[in-house]
Amino acid sequence: MWLLLTLSFLLASTAQDGDKLLEGDECAPHSQPWQVALYERGRFNCGASLISPHWVLSAAHCQSRFMRVRLGEHNLRKRDGPEQLRTASRVIPHPRYEARSHRHDIMLLRLVQPARLTPQVRPAVLPTRCPHQGEACVVSGWGLVSHNEPGTTGSPQSQG
């Protein structure tokens, strides 16, 4: 199942480009109300974050012509009630985004209709400073946590 995961780690100054987080734990449903799923032609494409009722922040490499936005999502394989479907009216990649190197890999999406704020759909509280070395951080996103076998969890090959 594709479920929303959180990954906890300590910020280290030795992180290299290409380092990957390979394990996580399933989030309590709707505990990350800013988490957004971007879809392209009905298929999950990327994760993103709601930063205001009108704006979503994601990676520029996720940009597509047929992008739809789902908010209030937990399990990507089923609808459980609080989901909201939106369309992007404007896609604004970083002006210096480089597809080959992924430099400046960030974009904003303006929603045609603003998100309806609920307990399951809320903007992220943006930080006021950068984290310090050794400070605990949490990352969230969707990943595969089961191979449909009892007692198994995701593996590096199955992470999304």
Alpha-carbon distance of 135 to 141, in angstroms, equals 20
Chain centroid to Cα 9, Å, comes to 17
The series of mean pLDDT values per 10 residues for the chain, 160 residues long, is 56 47 72 93 92 96 90 89 93 93 94 96 89 81 58 36
35-111: which CATH topology?
Answer: Thrombin, subunit H (2.40.10)
Q: What's the pLDDT score for residue 114?
A: 97
In this prediction, residue 13 carries a pLDDT of 42
- Cβ of 106: how many Cβ atoms within 10 Å? 14
Q: Residues of 17-34 as b/e, b for ≥16 C-beta within 10 angstroms?
A: eeeeeeebebbeebebbb
With contact defined as beta carbons under 8 Å apart, do 12 and 43 qualify?
Answer: no
